[in-house]
């Protein structure tokens, strides 16, 4: 067994090392190049799609959180109804997880709803913070604009929004009735205002008109139309004052998770086992279904591209292998005449195909990662922010996916190569030698 393995490996190595400028050697080189291009396209597509999903998801979740805990009569409303901040789950909820749950069995990214199995969430609940919403009208000397105010308290995590502040700074003195306001660039342009300038906000509460003066502390730009068009951030104490709430009342809680893949599991868990009957949990998927449909569509695109490129690699390697077998018919006949079995001869050509595939994988990974890296660090491909929510094509290196592409490509292609290698079984030793 060891001798046949050594012999097949030796012969395959000699075949792959052939440098003659004949037709078969040209086809072999084409096979390597075509395989490399296929692998490179798979890697670039994966990095691009993962980059889009990660960048847009971070924007969505950074502003909204993953799950809202709100009053059960407040669904799909920006007018918050008060709930007490004194809840059994607050603030200890941030230490919760991972949790176990029952869900569909997944195989290679595909879910099978009829196969239910036990899962554990990938991460924990990262953070929980209070918020409140209030609709109003924003006015400057020459312009007027409808707005939704998001009130935040002193525990608000500014990490996300700070990355998108293009001028000025976050709201200062939160929790003390600060009159600072953080608005979007889009709102600032429409109202013809800027950092340090004042504006008047008008509210209606119980039929009474109320107006308050604010100072623009900063201007942000996320690139997401849903946020930039209608939201501004202020001190939650102002909303409490406008609504006549007690100092310990808020509009709801935003829950942040370590991994968006756990969204549905934690939403169900919180509603069934954590929050009281008077409260309701609403995931961001329920609030913004269109964006999630778009994100999930990218998974389909990624699988389609990988599938097509895998087919291209298989066709090219199969062609290269068949041409080599035909070109080496005399060698096959000689090996069989010397007593080599069909299985041994097949192994020679399968291992030869493996040499081509390994070289293709190497160069494919090299060029794919270089191109993706160039885009990541130099942002060569620009995009329309209005259409794509981003000013450039983002890149994210998901190393587990890249590794899976390489392993999956190698195993699938090698298994498929068994089919063209069967051609050696039909070659007669005598006829092959005579053909020489």
- The answer to whether position 285 is within a domain reads no
CA distance 318 to 370: 28
Which residues of the chain fall below pLDDT 50? 2, 21
Same domain, 262 and 211: yes
Per DSSP, the residues of 320-380 read HHHHHHHHTHHHHHHHHHTT--HHHHHHHHHHHHHHHHHHHHHHHHHHHHHHHHHHHHH--
Domain end among 276, 300, 315? 276
0.85 surpassed by pTM: no
The answer on 117 and 24 residing in a single domain is no
Q: What is the pLDDT of residue 109?
A: 54
| Domain-located, residue 281 | no
The reply to whether 244 and 309 lie within a common domain is: no
Mention every residue, 6+ apart, whose C-beta is less than 8 A from residue 217: 168, 169, 170, 171, 172, 180, 181, 182, 195
Q: Are 47 and 103 in a shared domain?
A: no
205 phi/psi in degrees, rounded to 5: -140, 115
The DSSP symbol for 109 reads T
Whether 380 is covered by a domain: the verdict is yes
Among the candidates 221, 246, 276, a domain finishes at 276
Residue environment code for 82-94, b if the CB has 16+ CB neighbours within 10 A, otherwise e: bbeeebebbeebb
Domain of residue 369 covers 2-57+292-435
Residues 420, 332, single domain; the answer is yes
Query: Where among 217, 242, 276 does a domain terminate?
Result: 276
Same domain, 208 and 296: no
Do 99 and 214 fall within a single domain? yes
Same domain, 148 and 263: yes
Asked if residue 283 belongs to a domain, the reply is no
Q: Are residues 205 and 354 in the same domain?
A: no
Note whether 40 and 110 are same-domain residues: no
On whether residue 127 sits in a domain, the answer given is yes
Do residues 79 and 31 both lie within one domain?
no
Number of domains in the chain: 2
- Are residues 80 and 46 located together in one domain of the fold? no
Quick check: is 286 in a domain?
A: no
User: Mind listing the pLDDT tens digit for each residue in 228-243?
Assistant: 888 999 999 999 998 8
Q: What pLDDT score was predicted for residue 332? A: 72
């Amino acid at each position: 067994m060891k001798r046949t393995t050594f012999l097949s490996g030796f012969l395959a190595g000699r075949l792959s090392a052939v440098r003659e400028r004949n037709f078969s050697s040209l086809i072999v080189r084409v096979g390597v190049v075509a395989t490399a291009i296929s692998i490179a396209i798979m890697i670039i597509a994966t990095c691009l799609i993962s980059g889009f999903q990660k960048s847009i998801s971070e924007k969505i979740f950074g502003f909204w959180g993953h799950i809202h805990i709100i009053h059960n009569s407040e669904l799909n409303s920006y007018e918050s109804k008060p709930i007490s901040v004194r809840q059994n789950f607050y603030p200890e909820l941030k230490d919760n997880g991972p949790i176990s749950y029952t869900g569909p069995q997944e195989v290679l990214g595909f879910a099978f709803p009829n196969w239910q199995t036990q899962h554990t969430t990938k991460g924990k609940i990262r953070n929980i913070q209070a918020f409140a919403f209030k609709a109003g009208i924003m006015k400057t000397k020459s312009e007027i604009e409808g707005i939704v105010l998001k009130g935040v308290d002193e525990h608000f995590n500014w990490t996300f929004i700070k990355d998108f502040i293009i001028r000025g700074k976050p709201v200062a003195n939160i929790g003390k009735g600060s009159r600072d306001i953080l608005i979007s660039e889009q709102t600032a342009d429409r109202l013809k205002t800027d950092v340090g300038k004042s504006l008047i906000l008008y509210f209606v509460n119980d039929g009474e008109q109320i107006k308050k003066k604010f100072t623009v502390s900063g201007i942000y730009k996320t690139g997401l139309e849903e946020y930039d068009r209608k939201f501004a951030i202020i001190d939650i104490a102002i909303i409490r004052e406008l609504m006549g709430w007690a100092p310990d009342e808020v509009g709801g809680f935003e829950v942040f998770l370590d991994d968006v893949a756990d969204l549905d599991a934690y939403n169900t868990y919180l509603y069934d086992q954590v929050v009281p009957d008077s409260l309701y949990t609403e995931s961001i998927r329920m609030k913004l279904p269109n964006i999630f449909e778009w994100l999930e569509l990218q998974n389909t695109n990624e699988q389609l591209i990988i599938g097509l490129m895998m087919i291209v690699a298989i066709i090219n390697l199969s062609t290269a292998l068949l041409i080599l077998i035909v070109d080496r018919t005399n060698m096959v006949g000689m090996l069989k005449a010397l007593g080599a079995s069909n299985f041994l001869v097949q192994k020679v050509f399968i291992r030869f195909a493996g040499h081509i595939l390994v070289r293709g994988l190497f160069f494919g990974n090299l060029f794919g990662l270089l191109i993706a890296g160039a885009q990541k660090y130099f942002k060569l491909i620009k995009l329309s922010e209005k259409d794509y929510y981003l000013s450039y094509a983002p890149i994210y290196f998901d190393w587990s996916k890249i590794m899976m592409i390489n392993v999956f490509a190698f195993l699938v292609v090698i298994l498929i190569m068994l089919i063209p290698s069967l051609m050696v079984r039909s070659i007669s030793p005598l006829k092959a030698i005579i053909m020489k």
